[in-house]
Amino acid sequence: MTAREALIAAVARLEAAGIDGAARDARILLAHALGVGADRLTLHLADQMTTPQAQSYDEALARRARHQPVAQITGRRLFWGLEFRVTPDTLDPRPETETLVAEALTRPFLKMLDLGTGTGCILLACLKHMPMARGVGVDASPAALGVAVGNAADLGLEGRARFRQSDWFSAVEGQFDLIVSNPPYIAAAEMAALAPDVRDWEPHLALTPGGDGLDAYRTIARGAGARLCPGGRLLLEIGPTQGAAVAALLEGAGLTGLRILPDMDGRDRVVVAIKPQASEGESCS
């Protein structure tokens, strides 16, 4: 069977399984099975597939038909132009999170903290484009931290990125001029309506804190002031309806300069806050 014939059959198979974007996913998984870049797949469509390639493709399609995310099947996801390892222990990096990275890079920073780092994609993308900066990524999941450590090594950032297990700020020391987080924010009542690709395959610890979905923001708001340098920034990814509530929590914690930024689809996605400048004699530790 040629790769083109396999692709045609694969699209029909995924469409029958109710997979959105079946043609796109079939192409990505075919390139993965062939061991070629997705951008070069067209050059190989006339090739005869070997038995191992055909078996690999069939297994990948079976997993996708059960709604397992493509990134978990291939083990890789592009984010901010960089390739990251992905496992079932981490959230799949999403394009809307690049809104947070873009805002982080609008101003220089030297010390960065990423709360709930997961794959490390936010921290590492920021450090890659800020050569003088160093950062710390924390997560409650040891398995996720293992993925982040591997991603740092893959990107040559192991000398500037450190990772540690921490429940938000509990094991964090020192102050930072940039703190970022994409915390769990889905309300408990909303979980059942999520796409099965997310609900059934991604770690619930990284999706929802339970309740109204705001508990992580409450914790971050309480602790951010002590860990931000005077004039330091806090950037939080939010759900599209949470901007006003999260901004109110941060304002109540004494942070200023509040802004709500939209993602590429025009939905509220990032809340920005700033710790007021120091009084005379106060400095960043």
Give the start-to-end residue ranges of the domains of the chain. 3-66, 76-274
Q: How confident is the model at residue 173 (pLDDT cuts 50, 70, 90)?
A: very high
Question: How distant, in Å, are the alpha carbons of 119, 131, 216, 217, 279 from that of 213?
Answer: 21, 35, 8, 9, 35
What is the SS3 assignment for 184? coil
Residue-wise pLDDT for 240-282, tens only, equals 999 999 999 999 999 999 999 999 999 999 999 999 987 655 6
Residue 192: how many other CB atoms lie within 10 Å: 7
Residue-wise pLDDT for 122-133, tens only, equals 999 999 999 999
Phi/psi of residue 260, each to 5°? -120, 120
Looking at the predicted structure, is the pLDDT value of residue 99 above 90? Answer: yes
Looking at the predicted structure, is the pLDDT value of residue 83 above 70? Answer: yes
Phi/psi of residue 135, each to 5°? -150, 160
Closest by CA to 25, choosing from 78, 73, 95, is 73
Class of domain 76-274: alpha beta
DSSP-derived secondary structure letter, 127: H
Structure-token match 């191992």, residue found: 52
Task: Report the side by side order of strands in the sheet with 268-274.
Answer: 161-165, 134-139, 111-115, 176-181, 228-237, 268-274, 256-262
The whole-model pTM stands at 0.93
User: How far apart are the C-alpha atoms of 244 and 270, rounded to whole Å?
Assistant: 11
